[in-house]
Amino acid sequence: MRLTVLGKSPSWQDARGACSGYLLEHEGASVLIDCGNGVFSKLRRFRDYTTLNAVVISHLHADHFLDLIPYSYALTFAPRQQPVPVDRWKGTDHPARPRLIAPRGAAETFRRVVGAWGSEELVEHAFLLEEYEPDSRPEVGPLSFSFNEVPHFTETFAVAAESAPDGSRLVFGADSGPSPSLVDFAREADLLLVEATLPRPERTGERGHMTPREAGEHGARARARRLVLTHFSDELDPLWARAEAAAAFGGPVSIAREGDVYRL
């Protein structure tokens, strides 16, 4: 498997950055995990957006799905998607319509968002939308996906991707407060991509994010083989975050940067 970081910002983009988006590729299958604001443009730097097989969404917060809107417009209106020749594009009878694998309730949320300007069915017409349940196991070519609910401010799922036949396993923790069930889900993952949003724990209310140290502790408890921190603002010191996480993890830790490629 090959994982390319397209965007790693928290809910506001880094300068020139993008929110949550990771391109996962394996033996000809391409899947975008999350499609936050800014991600569609970053995807276009690396791949032809009409060739993706699927988009998987961890949860229905704006910074994890908002660029489904420009992506939907592209699939609907791009010259190459039309049935007749337009400019240098020769026309197609089979416009791309990637699968969109999103949490239950996604159709309703997308309709409400794009319905604000009267385009209720934009996303559902552009993609083949399938809502997943916590125990769903969707397959995309040689990749199988599974989900694990994590503590956040809306229903949110960590996402695991497993490749056949070599059995490498990627776990993306999504947005999550400290969670023993995330530790179990990430057990011996080849790579754990884990959020480290906070410089210090939330002072009040429910926990919905982690500090770099907590992210490192999750990696250690899960015995993940590699640990990559993400969802970390460029307004915080990445060297501090890496040191905090590494101290708890007991080994080297990476900080996700746009364009980074991880092989597993």
Output 61 or 226, the one with its CB closest to Zn ion.
61
- Check: CB of residue 226 under 8 Å from CB of residue 190: yes
Interface segment toward Zn ion; rule CB under 5 A; list 56-64, 109-117, 143-151, 192-200: 56-64
61 binds Zn ion (CB under 5 A): yes
Distance from C-alpha of 259 to C-alpha of 237, rounded to nearest angstrom: 19
Measured from the CB atom, the residue of 61 and 169 that comes closer to Zn ion is 61
Residue 148 Cβ vs Zn ion, minimum distance, rounded to whole Å: 15
Query: If binding is defined by CB under 5 A, does position 175 make contact with Zn ion?
Result: yes
> Which letter does DSSP use for residue 86 in this model?
B
Residue 65 or 132 with smaller CB distance to Zn ion: 65
Looking at beta carbons only, is 103 or 219 nearer to Zn ion? 103
Half-sphere exposure at residue 48, Cβ-oriented, CA atoms within 13 angstroms: 7
Stretch that binds Zn ion, among 18-26, 173-181, 192-200, 234-242 (CB under 5 A): 173-181
What is the CA 153 to chain-centroid distance, rounded? 17
Supply the minimum distance, in Å, between the C-beta of residue 195 and Zn ion.
Answer: 9
Query: Which region, judged by CB under 5 A, interacts with Zn ion, from 61-69, 107-115, 126-134, 159-167?
Result: 61-69
Contacts of 55 (CB under 8 A, 6+ apart): 31, 32, 33, 35, 68, 71, 98, 99, 100, 101, 102, 127
What phi, psi does 263 have (nearest 5°)? -110, 135
Considering only 15-23, 111-119, 170-178, 211-219, which stretch makes contact with Zn ion by CB under 5 A?
A: 170-178
Nearest to 8 by CA among 243, 241, 222, 217: 241
Residues in contact with Zn ion by the rule CB under 5 A: 61, 175
